[in-house]
């Protein structure tokens, strides 16, 4: 870690030194100070610069209030966060975000620094896991309509709500990102993406209280590769179908990931309502290692938290071309595989290959249940795959 950090700092200086026209805008504030105004000023100047520029937040700890850095900018822009920025730990007053990047084309965020959301007080005031109509807490980092972007080597710590939320992105990569919050922190999803085309999340570590990566409606072409999740709630496509005006999801690839001590492993969840009729297709999970994961493989088309929907209604989200291949490890409960597709709209073209999930609990062995789906089976299946598909599993 120390070596890696040293190398990346060296690399940043080289880039600044060598790149003839990358002008550097330093926030110029001493450590310990509140840099909200200085950062906004540096960003605004950099954004107006006619050539490539860098906004530099040097090493040290700073306070940072709510901030929106909005383009379009005249040239590509980079934010080098080398220090740690800390949110106001007492702020629990219904704001929707802490740091937002908006409408920027050609964006880099790197530098090895930390966004510390100071979420402790907020988690204790959060009642969203108990009440539907709850007070909003700020998302730590929002990327709204950011295109051709690379976010690399930054850490998000203790977000009050989601750590990172992405909407309207095109061609955006997250690499070597670290996300950390306690397992018991509510609603602290790691990275939520939706309504975007072309996002890659690579070689990252996400340990948090809610979903590791969650995928909302309208997401097209997402690659999640070499990501380690846990604790948390695993990798989730959805929930889908709660609202009208939702868009299709397609081209989701989750490969070479490890889930450890998560509630849920890899899942697709849709609401049992007819708010919208969209299709989620071409969703592939491959080479996934599970370590003591509860509900490792789950398709749940009757997702209905807080019992605020009618489970008798069928989901109108069509699931097509889904695969789970080479998924292995240990389950924390006996429900190793559950494919519960919609009554009125069976899942089509679901493939499972080389599933090897063990459960060692006293109520074992592990089970594999299917409803409204006839999966195509390849390779080994442990536990034994649903012998009579298209029937509701016995409860
Ligand atoms: C995607 O964005 C990166 C910057 O992160 C850029 O270098 C690359 O050219 C972009 N790719 C396309 C196809 O525009
Ligand atoms: C996943 O890992 C395997 C084995 O380590 C490697 O051969 C493969 O190229 C990787 N796949 C992707 C998409 O990274
Ligand atoms: C598995 O996780 C559960 C909590 O979900 C924990 O109680 C149990 O000790 C873990 N088992 C192993 C073998 O690590
Ligand atoms: C599902 O896959 C088949 C065969 O690869 C393809 O023809 C079809 O268009 C796909 N359906 C969707 C909705 O992506």
Alpha-carbon span 71 to 100, nearest angstrom: 11
Q: Does pLDDT of 393 surpass 60? A: no
The mean pLDDT value for 97-103 works out to 97
Secondary element (H or E) of residue 240? strand 235-240
Token pair for residue 36?
């909200």
pLDDT of 391 higher than 70: no
Query: Ligand 3 pocket test: which of 184, 260, 263, 332 has the largest number of ligand atoms within 8 Å of its C-beta?
Result: 332
- Structure token digits, residue 210: 């809610």
Which residues touch 284 (CB under 8 Å, ≥6 apart)? 252, 253, 254, 255, 322, 323, 325
pLDDT surpasses 80 at 274: no
Q: What is the pLDDT of residues 3-41, one digit of tens each?
A: 344 444 444 444 444 445 689 999 999 999 999 999 999
280: which strand partners?
249, 319
Atom of ligand 4 nearest to the CA of 321: 1
Give the mutation target among 200, 202, 287 for probing the ligand 2 site: most ligand atoms within 8 A of CB. Answer: 287
Bridge-based pairing of strands 367-371 and 335-340 is: parallel
Q: Are 339 and 350 in contact (CB under 8 A)?
A: yes
Q: For the chain, list the domains and their CATH numbers.
A: 9-382 (2.160.20.10)
Return the SS3 of 271.
Answer: coil
Mean pLDDT score, 208-230: 98
Q: Is 392 exposed, middle or buried (0-12, 13-18, 19+ CB in 10 A)?
A: exposed
Q: What is the pLDDT of residues 116-138, one digit of tens each?
A: 999 999 998 887 767 767 778 99
pLDDT given for residue 307 in this prediction: 75
Secondary structure of residue 4 in the 3-state scheme: helix
Q: Which residue in the block uniquely carries the two structure tokens 């080597």?
A: 153
Q: How far apart are CA 91 and CA 64, in angstroms?
A: 12
Query: Which of 114, 175, 178 lies closest to 150, judged by CA?
Result: 175
Pocket lining: 173 vs ligand 4, CB cutoff 6 Å: no
| Confidence band of 322 (pLDDT split at 50, 70, 90) | very high
Q: Which pLDDT does position 212 carry in this prediction? A: 98
- Give, for 123, the enclosing helix (H) or strand (E): helix 120-125
The percent of residues in the chain predicted with pLDDT above 70, rounded, is: 92
Distance CA 280, CA 123 (A): 32
- Mean pLDDT value of segment 98-102: 98
- Dump pLDDT digits (tens) for 64-91: 999 999 999 999 999 999 999 999 998 7
In this predicted structure, the answer to whether residue 389 has a pLDDT above a threshold of 70 is no
State residue 275's pLDDT score.
Answer: 79
pLDDT reported for residue 4: 45
233 is catalytic: yes
Report percent pLDDT > 90 for the chain.
82
pLDDT tens for each residue of 279-294: 999 999 999 999 999 9
């Amino acid at each position: 870690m120390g070596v890696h950090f040293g190398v990346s700092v060296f690399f940043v200086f080289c880039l600044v030194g060598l790149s003839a026209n990358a002008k550097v805008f330093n926030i110029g504030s001493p450590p310990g100070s509140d840099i909200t105004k200085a950062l906004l000023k540096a960003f605004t100047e950099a954004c107006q610069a006619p050539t490539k520029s860098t906004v530099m937040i040097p090493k040290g700890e700073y306070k940072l209030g709510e901030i929106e850095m909005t383009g379009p900018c005249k040239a590509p822009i980079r934010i080098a966060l080398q220090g740690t920025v800390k949110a106001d730990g007492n702020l629990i007053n219904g704001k929707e975000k802490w740091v937002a990047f908006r409408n920027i084309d050609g964006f880099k965020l790197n530098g090895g620094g930390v966004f510390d959301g100071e979420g402790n007080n907020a988690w204790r005031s959060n009642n969203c896991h108990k009440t539907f109509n709850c007070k909003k807490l700020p998302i730590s980092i929002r990327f709204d309509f950011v295109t051709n972007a690379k976010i690399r080597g930054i850490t998000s710590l203790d977000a009050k709500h989601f750590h990172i939320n992405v909407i309207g992105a095109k061609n955006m990569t997250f690499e070597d990102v670290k996300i950390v919050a306690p397992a018991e922190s509510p609603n602290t999803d790691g990275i939520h993406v939706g309504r975007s085309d072309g996002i890659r999340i690579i070689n990252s570590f996400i340990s948090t209280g809610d979903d590791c990566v969650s995928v909302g409606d309208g997401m097209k072409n997402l690659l999640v590769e070499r990501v380690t999740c846990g604790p948390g709630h695993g990798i989730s496509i959805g929930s889908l179908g709660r609202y009208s005006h939702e868009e299709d999801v397609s081209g989701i690839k989750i490969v070479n990931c490890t889930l450890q001590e998560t509630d849920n492993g890899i899942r697709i969840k849709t609401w049992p309502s007819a708010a919208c009729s969209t299709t989620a297709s071409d969703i592939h999970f491959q080479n996934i290692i599970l370590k003591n994961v509860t509900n490792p493989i789950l398709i749940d088309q009757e997702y209905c938290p807080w019992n605020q929907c009618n489970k008798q209604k069928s989901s109108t989200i069509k699931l097509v071309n889904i695969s789970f291949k080479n998924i292995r490890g240990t389950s924390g409960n006996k429900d190793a595989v559950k494919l519960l597709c919609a009554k009125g709209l069976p899942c089509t073209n679901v493939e499972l290959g080389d599933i090897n999930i063990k459960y060692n609990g006293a109520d074992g062995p592990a089970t594999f249940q299917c409803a409204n789906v006839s999966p195509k089976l390849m390779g080994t299946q442990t536990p034994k795959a649903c012998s009579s598909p298209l029937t509701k599993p016995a409860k």
